[in-house]
Structure 1
Amino acid sequence: ALLQTALANAATVDHQFTHYGEVRADIITVKTTVAEVDRAMADMTTQIQAQINDVTAVLEDKLTATVNAEGATAIHTLNTGVKV
């Protein structure tokens, strides 16, 4: 889903992965920048995942900075999860 959204927004995507049978490890970094007449936005999302069979551990780190006529925001979000 992260890759599909990135490609729809013309973002820069870096995907590194390796696998050996049922063992897999991924790192996906998506960078998006927008500069328009009345707003600017920079966003970077990094997702790392390790998986063996049905057991998965995932971390997603998202940084977003925006500025427009109403003000500015800077948001840092970290999500973690384990599926057994």
Structure 2
Amino acid sequence: MNKSAYQMLRWSVDEVINNVRHDTAISDTDFASNLMRLFLQRLASEQVTSQKARREFLTFRRNPENIAPSWALHNPGISSRLPTL
């Protein structure tokens, strides 16, 4: 979890706690359900983001129309003897 996602989660938890503190009609089970729902939503969104990034990494294909840079065309054995362009 990155810093901004952590801060958003913390602010959301603070908001839920403040709502319970000012409203005494909310039961303990409702309070726990709201907190758990909040945590599960954040965990699910983190998993979706992680899976999207993994899928993009695994399915990456180079565009054949792109021109490769000159340093990518050097043979590894003679690259130290040739000057870079």
Q: TM-score w.r.t. structure 1 length?
A: 0.21
Greater share of helix: 2
Greater share of strand: 1
> Which protein is bigger by CA-based radius of gyration?
2
Q: Larger RCO: Structure 1 or Structure 2 (Cα < 8 Å, ≥ 6 residues apart)? A: 2
